[in-house]
Amino acid sequence: MHAQWMGLALSEARRALLTGDVPIGAVVIGNDGEVLGLGRNEREAHGDPTAHAEVVAIREAAKKLGSWRLAGCTLVVTLEPCTMCAGAIVLARVPRVVFGAWDEKAGAAGSVFDVLRERRLNHWVEVFPGVREEECAALLRDFFSGHR
């Protein structure tokens, strides 16, 4: 299922290209497999530094559920979450994160930091890295090669 869900996140990532945003996409899946939230980077689209794909998807899922607690959900994202997004994931009580490409510069799910599994916090997240990794990484490489 992780690879299939990553396909939804990749579709969202491609939609970010329409607004000139970095192509990162996310989806929140409910306990029953229902899509509760979709998100893509919208920082350029809205001039909002917090409009990362994960935050957008988490907000949509919380609204749909009528609760900020996303217990039982899975967040699927094309790039390893940054520290801001990892903090939001922990605070939303998301139990599982699936991601595609590693972020060796700003990742907070095992590469630079490991906020999602930090034992001093009050919630820990199960992490499934590298799902459709090459496809996710290629989308980002192509985007950045066109901007240099």
Active site members: 54
With tokens 């929140």, the residue in question is: 28
Residue 100 to residues 44, 121, 131, Cα–Cα distance (Å):
22, 24, 5
CA max distance for the chain:
43
Residue 2's H or E segment, with its range, is: helix 2-16
Binding-site residue set for Zn(2+): 52, 82, 85
Cα–chain center distance at 143: 18
